[in-house]
Amino acid sequence: MPKKEIDWDNPYTSEKYVNRLGLNLGVDRSPYEEEDTGSQGQFDQKGYAEAVEKAYANDYSTRRALEAANLAGEKDIPKNISSIEDAYKAHKWMKSQHEGGGKYSSDADRANITTKWVEEDRSNLKQGFTDDLNAMKESLLETAANKKEEKKGPVRRSDRLQGARDRTEAGNSNIFGDNNAQVSKTDERKDATSNFLEDAKLDLKGGLNLQPSVSNITNAANEVTNLYGR
């Protein structure tokens, strides 16, 4: 049979639970008791419950243990204490974490639980950091491998490099004989004949003998030599 829910709004039904929590943290009850004037004085149960709630919210060991456990992934525990119900849940969870025998009642008991969960959280954080680094390394290696595969294709020269190569090849063609730049022997003979006729015209004007002679042929050969360096 499921346990009956605690009615925290009813101070009479919640009194024993509040008193148990207050006793565990050592919350003083006397400020909330009226002076006994011959009959039992009144007790401010609501004021005491608020004091117990505040004590749990301000208890470092309880607060730090809850924080570390939440970060470590623990379920069904308060993230903070903002009500007497939260204080009760925190108390029950802390008590369930108590190890080493004996009652769960001292500051040392709470401190040990805090230490356990802080170490658990740090261990998870360290493992998560290591996993992130490994994942990053694998990603970088995969990217580098993909780039290496891409570079295995045909090499494409830049426009600047291709232009320099073209100019070099054109220069070599002119040096070693390009058909377009080379002067044919027919052109050489044509130029020699033209220069010979010009000389003949000058001889005619000067009244020189224009009959073919060895010297005229020699002059034509000399013209070729002068023009083409041969």
All structural domains of the chain with their residue ranges: 11-32+41-128, 182-230
Q: What is the pTM of this model?
A: 0.51
Indicate the residue type of 148. Answer: K
Strand runs labelled E in the chain: none
- 210 within 8 A of 204, measured Cβ to Cβ: yes
Instruction: Give the pLDDT of residue 163.
Output: 73
CB-count exposure of residue 77 (10 Å: 0-12, 13-18, 19+): middle
pLDDT of the residue at 1: 41
pLDDT in the model for residue 162: 73
- Structure tokens that stand for 224 in this block: 């070729």
Q: What is the pLDDT of residue 99?
A: 83
Spatial separation of the C-alpha atoms in residues 213 and 37, rounded to whole Å: 166
Asked if residue 58 lies in contact with residue 90, where contact means CB atoms within 8 angstroms, the answer is no
pLDDT for 53 equals 95
Low-confidence stretches of the chain (pLDDT beneath 70): 1-4, 35-41, 126-138, 140-141, 148-158, 160-161, 169-230
